[in-house]
Amino acid sequence: MWKTIGDPIVNVSSRYSALNIDSKLMVGFNNIELISDRAPETNFREIAECKKLWPDHAIIASLMVDTRERWHEFVKRAADSGADGIELNFGCPHGMCERGMGSAVGQNPKVIETIVGWVMEAAEIPVIVKLTPNITDITVPARAAKKAGADAISMINTINSITQVNLDKMCPEPYVGGQSTHGGYCGPAAKPIALNMVQSCAADPEVNLPISGIGGCSNWKDAAEFIALGATSVQVCTAIMHYGFRIVEDMCEGLSQWMDSKGYKTIEDFRGAAVKSVTKFENLNLSYKRVAFINHETCIGCNLCWVACEDGAHQAIDLIDPEANGLDLGPGRLPGVRIPRINEDRCVGCNLCSLVCPVEGCITMLDVETGKDPITWKQYQERLARGEVEPIPAHP
């Protein structure tokens, strides 16, 4: 996927900032960089050179211009250069949107229809429409792209953001001569937003287009998640900027090994397999219950689970004396040191304790048989109105 080609622009210095968490760098990545600042003829010449050197690899030319005539021109130049497809950048949330392009297009379904219509007049190779996440309902622009004849969609482009403030300069990073601007946010921290939007479009029968998934894909598992939620391809950018191109080989190898372990022969064997499991809250079973279970053989006694549950959840973990409660935890345990134990009567299965536990697999969530018939919120409200059920008691 080529960096977006258009009329050459002037970029600023500096351009990037990041969200770091403890020792983990670039959990989120912010940029105020615009499209390619190189001449279109340079980009198209290099596309032709790459296609000549690697004829079996797909090259997609990302484009962003303004008028109908310019779209026709750039679409033709992309095809003439040997590009296998084009991607229309309707998502850039900074700089270009102020010029009536980028997310300014992606946020307006009518404009999407118009410009995609212009492109389809001249396109002889597949057209992918890249959508902005800076919108309430991603399916609306996706439907507009479909209506105008697009061959596929890609999502998500970057999210409006300010990742950090330089407290000495009293200006957000990155700054340009003491000033800054909102940028585009991506990287691993953006993946949940991307997955949600990919699933929304994959589940919408009015969209019904191939989807190229974008947003925080950093390893094979991320790629598998995008595909399971309906993506037909996955794009990687921030992870390559962080770790280099070699990471893609690792991702392909890891994905292949995982597919072998599951018996999947092709991507299509599991693509979209998780789409239908996402539903409205009102359709969830109120009778279903899970509780936490602590494996005391692997518990290190840090009590992070107790702190989290006590201060941030439902006070469903007790600190107990193992000896007084008949628990033999083996050698290496200091006498008198209390350990956490789940109070199943109070546990609501929120998962918080398992999320904060630093020991993998120490705290697991177990299904509990409640003996109750499945009932959704909508069914509960209807039956309650008819007097067929008693109000569900509040949690003690």
- CA of 263: how far to CAs of 222, 256, 270, 342, 369, in Å? 19, 10, 10, 37, 31
> What's the rounded Cα separation, in Å, for the pair 139 and 160?
19
> What's the rounded Cα separation, in Å, for the pair 86 and 59?
9
Return the closest-CA partner of residue 127 out of 197, 34, 210, 226.
210
Exactly one of 92, 97, 186, 362 is catalytic; name it. 92
> What's the rounded Cα separation, in Å, for the pair 202 and 196?
10
Neighbouring residues of 56: CB distance < 8 A, sequence distance ≥ 6 = none
3-state helix, strand, coil in the chain (%, to 5): 35, 20, 45
**Is residue 299 among the annotated active site residues?**
no
Q: Are 114 and 121 in contact (CB under 8 A)?
A: no
Measured from the Cβ of residue 328, the count of other Cβ atoms closer than 10 Å reads: 8
- CA of 179: how far to CAs of 12, 91, 172, 176, in Å? 11, 24, 8, 5
Residue indicated by tokens 């890891």: 254
The residue type found at 141 is P
Q: Which residues are catalytic?
A: 92
